Every structure is written in structure tokens, then in C-alpha cells.
Chain A
């Protein structure tokens, strides 16, 4: 099973064939929600785009890469133990880190870390449960670590190319998540698909994540450094 074959499967029917569509649906939902919020509320906030635009853009891009992996894992429900642990750990760490990093960039370490930990733990558990308690534990631990690390990294880089680091962090996370999808594809060669999520699943998650991120960044509490 080569990466070429995985690439080919992206254009076919089946769980892998839904990955690209999921990215599209998530991005479309998030940006439509953001546009609606902007028209009715956010455009009245001084310096909204210069202050929050960059971080919101990358937070939304991050969610659009995280959600397809969750849909991919849910399609098979049960995976071998080692693969499940790897999936729980990767999802918890990456989702926690990205969410924590971008929210901490506008709100400070406390709120960024708390949000990052929450997102990381929820997604870590959601995906890690495919192999039972070990995957769930791995998801909780990595979500907790990733959230804290994301918030901390952002604050430490506040006066040292924070935006450039945000782009680098996003690119590396994207590569890791694509690798994770390849891993899931490899590990499920002999497993039948057991679950089919509708697009509503992705729309709901994208909607919720975008709204919570916008509300936190713009109206949420922030540390003294950002007041």
C-alpha cells in the first residue's frame, strides 16, 4: 500500500473519497459563518481584520484539516490498538496545539491553553476511543499537553515572528494530519466500513468551532498583556 494508492483512493468512493469533500464543506461552512458574523456584528469592532483576521483564518484552516481525520476514523469505528493509540495521540496533540496557539495569540496563555486543552481532549477522546481505553487515555493526555504547549509557544513568540511561526506550525500540522489519514487508510485495508457520517456532522462541528473561536478571540477574557 503506497502513498500513490492512497492518493488514488481520494478520488474514489468510500471513506477516503470523502476527505477532500469534508475539507471543502468545513471551509465553506466556517467562512460563511464568519461572513455572517462580520456583516452583523464584527465589522463594527475597531481593527477587527488587522487584529484577528490572520489568526482566525489559520484557526479555520486548522479545523478544516482536523475534522476530515475525525470523520475518517469514525467511518471504521474500531482499529487495532497501536493504530488507535497513535490516532488518539496525534489528534489530541495537533488539535490542542493549533487551537491553543491561535487563541493564545490574541487572548493570552490562560484562555488559549484552556481552549486548546478542551479541543485537544475532546478530539483526542473522540478519535482515540476507536481502540478502547488506551486510545482514550492517550487522547486525554495528548490533548492536555498539546493545548498547554500551543498557548505557551504562542506567548513565548509574541515579540519574535509570531505570525511566521503560525504559518510554519500550520504547515507541519497539515503534513502530520495527511500522514495520519494515510496511516488510517493503511490500517483499515481489511476492515469493512461501519459508519457513515452525513455532511451535517462536519457542518455542525465547523459551525460550533468557528463561533466559539470568534467569540473567544473578540469578546473573551484576555490576560493583562492583551488589555
Chain B
């Protein structure tokens, strides 16, 4: 058999084996949350902008209790596209009345950010 064909077959085999092993699972692992969860005492958080970043920059919430986050009128541009990667939250909050609701089910420290990563903050679940 031609040498090149052997190399091509070898290359395809390597890619298939390595791909099967390496490409699995979700890279955004970390936190757990029930998005849209409600009931019980809702922990309401309103974020604004200060020094070109979300304010307050660190928010502490209680585990297994619903959280509702909204952005006040000082927040504009891409900062209104609010994300918490660990919880799979990615929502454009067009007005201060729009909210993101979820229930964190695991303690830990998570990052929240705008969709471009320009503004970031920390959500502490305890």
C-alpha cells in the first residue's frame, strides 16, 4: 500500500481516538442552579455601574434560595447583557424591570460578567 495512504489512515485514527477522549462533557462546569426558580424568600439584587464595572462588585447570597438580579438605569451597552457562565445564565436585561432569576444549589464563588467580559463581579453563594 502507498505510504501516503498509510499516513492518512494513521492521522485519521489518531484524530478520531484523541477527539473521542478529549471532546466530551461541558466546559462550563462549576456551579449548579435552577434557572427561573422561585418560591420562598427571593433574594433581590440590583446592580449598577461604578468605576466602569458592576456595583456592588461582590454579592453574597444564600444557597437554595431564589435569587433575582436586575440592572438599574446606570447600566448601559454590553453591560446589560448579563451572564453567569457557571449557571448557564445569559440574558439581555433591556430595562431595569427585567430580571434574571435562578436558585443556586451549590455553595461556592462564581463570576458574573457582561457578555463580552468587559464588566465582571463575584457572586458568593454560602
Contact = CB atoms under 8 A, between A and B. Distances in A.
A49 B22 contact: yes
A61 B23 CA distance: 13
Main SS of the interface on chain A? helix
Contacts of B11: 20, 23-24, 27
A48 B116 CA distance: 24
Interface residues of B, number: 30
Given A50-B25, A50-B27, A53-B22, A160 B115 contact: yes
B15 A27 contact: yes
B56 interface: no
A155 B116 contact: yes
- The size bracket of the interface on A is 35 or more
Interface in A177-227: 223-227
Interface string B1-19: 0111101101100110011
A163 B2 CA distance: 36
Nearest to A109: B117
Contact of A57 (B23, B83, B115): B23
Interface in B10-54: 10-11, 14-15, 18-19, 21-27, 29
A74 B45 CA distance: 60
Question: Which of A28, A51, A159, A224 has the most chain B CB atoms inside 10 A of its CB?
Answer: A159
